[in-house]
Structure 1
Amino acid sequence: MTHRDRFEAVYDAYYPAIHQYAARRTGSADDTADVISETFLIAWRRAGEIPEGERALLWLYGVARRVLANHRRGDSRRAMLADRLRAELSAQRPERAAGPGELDHVRAAFDRLPERDREVLALACWEELTSEQIAKVVGCTAIAARTRLHRARRRLAAALERRPSSTIVMGEA
């Protein structure tokens, strides 16, 4: 029996059992699919080591069990990293001069700009890139980047001048 034939026989015989095993122990269909695919990938790589008969199912259960343990450890590491990153980012976040609702008109004007304009403005303002650096990021010449940035700033200024009347504070009219 070839490597492929051995794997296909094991896969056909035991896929339903491994699917049920993984589904009972995971929280989502995506996680179940990941466990199944990793289990059978290992089985493919080690097809020559898979025992004969029903012992093959026990072997696959053992592989699936270790795959699940790896997933749990990975999830735990990702959660700890995400918590640490959130803490670092919140500690580094500069205090805003304006309150949360005071800049809604700026956000709305920015969001109404074409994607091209938003991208060069964000690169210039948020990432503090020069025109030459922006050119490398967007794949154009420095002159074209300066022109795009200049035009984007003009369009943003025009959009800000068209501030909707609903955002005018009492007493401004």
Structure 2
Amino acid sequence: METDEDLLTRSIREPEAFELLVVRHSGALHGYLSRRAPGAADDLLAEVWLQAFTGRGTYDVNRGTSRTWLFGVARNVLAAHRRRHERDARALPGNEESSDPWHAIDQRLDAAAVAPLIRHTLAGLPNVERELLLLVAWEQLTPSEAAAVVGIPAGTARSRLHRARTRLRAALDSTPSLSLTGDFA
């Protein structure tokens, strides 16, 4: 079976080879986008694939796997979407729609009592720490892959991920009868 990196490289000469990458990674990328922008995930996924296809010649195998490259493209598309959304919201007087990306977290947590605490703790984390934590917990990327997505060295990512996990663990430990389990631990 041909690797993703081989397909990406081959797609420069044979554009139809890119289709298998779409098949292999659309589910994971859609999940990433839908957890962060539920109402726009389908459109954003289309934009990710358009940008990835257009920019496939910029992929550098020495900077990480094609999977991390694709998540990096998705992260950039999402950031552009949020900037547009915030700019549009500011331009329309009386627009009460929230641009809070953490609203979707409340809908996915089993313990309603824990949701506000986790949301508050995540919102208080520096952006890079929050993104690293969510890439590892939700997208099941390794810390090194998450580092490549956000564009920082792997060692730096590991220390920031540790710091984020420690903050989240401390917040949960400060609440009686709650403990941190699962992918965040």
Shorter-chain TM range is 0.3 to 0.5
TM-score, scaled to structure 2: 0.40
TM-score, scaled to structure 1: 0.43
Higher relative contact order (CA 8 A, sep 6+): 2
